[in-house]
Each structure stands twice: as structure tokens, then as C-alpha cells.
Amino acid sequence: MSLSPATSLPTRLDAALLERAARPLDLELPAATRAEVDRGRTFVDRCLSGDHAIYGSTTGFGPLVAFAGRDTAADQCDNVLQHLTAGQGPDLPPELVRATVLARLWSLARGRSGVSGTVLDALCAMLRTTFAPAVPTLGSVGASGDLVPLAHIAQALRGHGYAYLDGRRLPAEEALREAGLAHLPLDGRDALGFVNGTSLTTAAAALAWTSISRSLKAAAALTALLADLLGCAPAFLAPQLLKAYGHPAVIATGERMAALLAGVRPEPDRPLQEPYSIRCSPQLLGAAASAVEYAGSVVDNDLNGVSDNPLFFEEDDLIAHGGNFFGQPCAFAADLLAMVATQTGNLAERQLDLLVDPHRNGGLPPMLSPEPGRQHGLQGVQVVTTAVVVDMRRRATPASFQSVPTNLHNQDVVPFGTQAALNALSLAGSLRLLHGSLALGLRQAVFVGARRPTAPACVRLFDELAAVLEPVERDRPLDTAVRAAADLLDAHLADA
């Protein structure tokens, strides 16, 4: 989606736009959207002027719903925000927080939350700048919305706490002033509507899905390049073979890898069957693609649904109190993404291990060193990939069923979707580093004696890697080279 200045908020939200929210976005509310928001707010005000009981507007919060709230709308705003500003741990990445704001803006813009149009105007204004609230990582159980993280966002927009501006962490009041932003205006309904949704969970899951989707393309491309450098025959991609397996995503993955290896010239002395890290790659990556496709459909539904409680339906004269802030769908999807990232990471680590082992890499020197003993080639990088993949395995335990009752048993079952989504996003980053490590190894392999690739698509990828990555002739730090390779893969596969 191409955004020009003052582009209308889209009628459907997608993960690509959430990624772009890392940079300033000039969004505005369409007239029809503003009309829906205003209609919802008018209905709330009419209900509040009568004798309707509305959770969070006339009552306390959570298990204290049986008690009356504060007397004024302004006090009721403090009533919800102040006690929730209790998060702990390191700050979330600013780009994730900005994606969260965009996701929350879209949900509130449906008009079912009954918030004021001025709230949405303030969020649009924030997204036009580089402002990002400082939000602690720990605090949400994802069962009544992402209450604590969203409260920290609201507080920063009111001038409390801290925020980032142009990458600098500043007192929120100072950051607002430098960004030219006014304080976020909130009353009690606005404040509860702001925090009572799973927008952090959804945003993190969406960004994880986007990154892992790219990484599956990288895995297919790197596997093809590995097979080409080793002189493997593409028999493991035979369409008849994969069709007999019966899984459409495996067939599609095999077709993609076969296209990458079109024109390859196999070496005649290769064994009849390749190691599983090559031979079984279409089955593994196809299964991963199928799982990611399912997770993407869940994330898309979550992005485009309304996450809040209560919801307001003026056309039916209905105030609906329920559980549309319960993050179970994305919790399951995020745990699935975490498993996909980890198994795809296992594949990359095994492929690099194959490449540095002189007993299995076609006679290349150990650790791809140009002078073994005096120089160490990819030895440090290979050790790090082992550490990374074990860390991924350790953290791939699902969060979505780790329910612990809280909130005086008002929240007696919780999905922990926020932790699942944040974990999936972190593992997506680890997977990128494993692919960057493998890409560096493939570039080094040719330097120390492997043949140049023969398939045109593999030649293009290798030449791009070689243009960015200097060969490891003498030992040097390689941490930045791994990250550069990961960035190159993202760029190479952006439109694939």
C-alpha cells in the first residue's frame, strides 16, 4: 500500500502497514469513519445521561465492578490509568509500540468503543511524528486487553512517564513538546476504550508473521544455493514425488525451490541421497508455510476485528458487555509461529553445520577456513548459531495454555497471548540471524574452494551476497556481517 500525505485510514488493516508505522505515517480519519465514531460517542453520552450501568464508566474496574466509580469523567480516566501504570522490565521496541498504536487506532475507529473523535485525532497526530511511548515488556496477561502496556502508552501521550523521539529516550512531557504534540484528551470511557483491547498482542503477532513469512522465502533460497554449491541433483524436488506426499504447501514449496534451481548442473559424484537438511527441506518448509498461512489468517482477523469491552450498538440500542478483549486466537497463532521459527532455525543451523564440516561438505576446509589453525573462518559464527538455536528451542514452549487465575479470580482463565506474541516476534528476529549466518557461510564456501553456483537464480543471490560480504581471509569480527547478510536477504526477497 502506498501512502501519500494525509492518506485516509484504510478500511482494512494489514501487517505491512504495521511495519511501515515504524516511520512517520500521515493518516487521517475518513469522513464516514468519523461519522461512525461520533455516532458511537453520542450513544454513550445518551446512555450515561440516563440510568444505564456501563462498565468502567459508572463502575470500578475488574473485580471492583460491584463498586461505584469516581464522580467525574476526568477522575474516572485517572481511575483506570493510574493503577495500571505498573509495568516492569525493559522497554518494548519503539517500532512495536507504534504498530500497537496503529492497531488500537484502527479498532477504536470502528465506532463500537464509544470513544471521542479527539482521541483518534491525537493518535493520528502521534503517528505523523517519530514519537513512541516507552512501554515496559512485562505486565499483560492478554485476558482483558493489554491493559498495562496500553496504559503506559496512554500515560506517555498525557505527558507522564517516558517516550522515544528520533530514537532518544526522554521524559514524555519533553518528547511531546519537541514533537509538537498536545496532551491526549481522555475521559473515563476514552481511557477504558484505549486500554481494553489486545492491540499489543495483535501488533506483535502481525510483525512476527511478516518477518517469519520472509524468512521462509530466505530458507528456500539459501537451501537452493547450498544445494547448488555442493552440486546436488534436484531429484528431491521431483514434482511427482512431492505430489504423492499429498500436501499442497509442500508441492508449492518444491515448485518454488525447483524454479530457484532451474539450470543447475549437478556433480556426478554426489551420493544417491542427500542429507535430510537438503533432501527433506521441501517437506519441512512446506509444512512451515502451511502453518504460517493459518496463523496469518488469524492475525488478519484480529487486526480487523474490534477488541474492547463493552461495545456499543446504537442501531440496536445495545450496550454489550462480553469478552472481545480475550486474546486467545492470537495466542494460539503466535505459539504456532514460534514453533515454525524454531524448526526453520533448526534447519538453518544444521545446514551451516553441514557446510563447515570437511567430512560432509565435499572436501572444503574445516570451518571454511582459508588457513586452518592460523585462521578460523566461520568457527565463531557456527558456535553462535548453536547458542541461538538452543535459545530458540528453550523459548518455544507455548504460552497460550499457561493460564494462571488473577484479578481476584475475575480473570479466572487467561490466554497469555501477549507473551506468546512477543516471544514469536523475538524468535523471528533470531531466525533472521541464523539465516544471515548461513548466508555468510555460503559466501565463504566459494571463497575457500566450493564451485560457483550454476543456476541463474542462485547466481543472482550469490553475487548480491558477495557484493556486500567480504570473504573471511583473516580472522575478524563477524557480528555485523551476519546482520548485514540478514538485511540483504530481506531486501533480496522483498518482492519474491
Residues known to be catalytic: 55
Is residue 340 within 8 Å of 291, Cβ to Cβ? yes
DSSP 432-476: HHHHHHHHHHHHHHHHTTPPPP-SHHHHHHHHHHHHHS---SS--
168: Cα separation from own chain's centroid: 23
Type of residue at 274: E
Type of residue at 126: M
CA distance 76 to 67: 13
Beta carbons within 10 angstroms of residue 316's beta carbon: 8
The packing angle between helices 328-356 and 199-230, to 10°, is 20
Convert 184-195 to b/e letters by CB count within 10 Å (16 or more is b).
Answer: bebbbbbbbbbb
Is residue 399 within 8 Å of 393, Cβ to Cβ? no
DSSP 145-208: SSHHHHHHHHHHHTT-SEEEETTEEEEHHHHHHHHTPPPPP--HHHHHHHHSS-HHHHHHHHHH
95: Cα separation from own chain's centroid: 10
Which residues, in sequence order, are CB contacts of 295 under 8 Å at separation 6+? 205, 209, 333, 334, 336, 337, 340
CA distance 404 to 393: 23
Residue of 401, 398, 403, 399 lying closest to 414 (CA atoms): 403
**What phi, psi does 50 have (nearest 5°)?**
-100, -145
Which residues, in sequence order, are CB contacts of 359 under 8 Å at separation 6+? none
Rg (alpha carbons) of the chain, rounded to whole number: 26
3-state secondary structure of 269: coil
Query: Which cell goes with 405?
Result: 487465575
Residue of 39, 41, 72, 35 lying closest to 57 (CA atoms): 72
Residue with cell 517516550: 163
Type of residue at 37: V
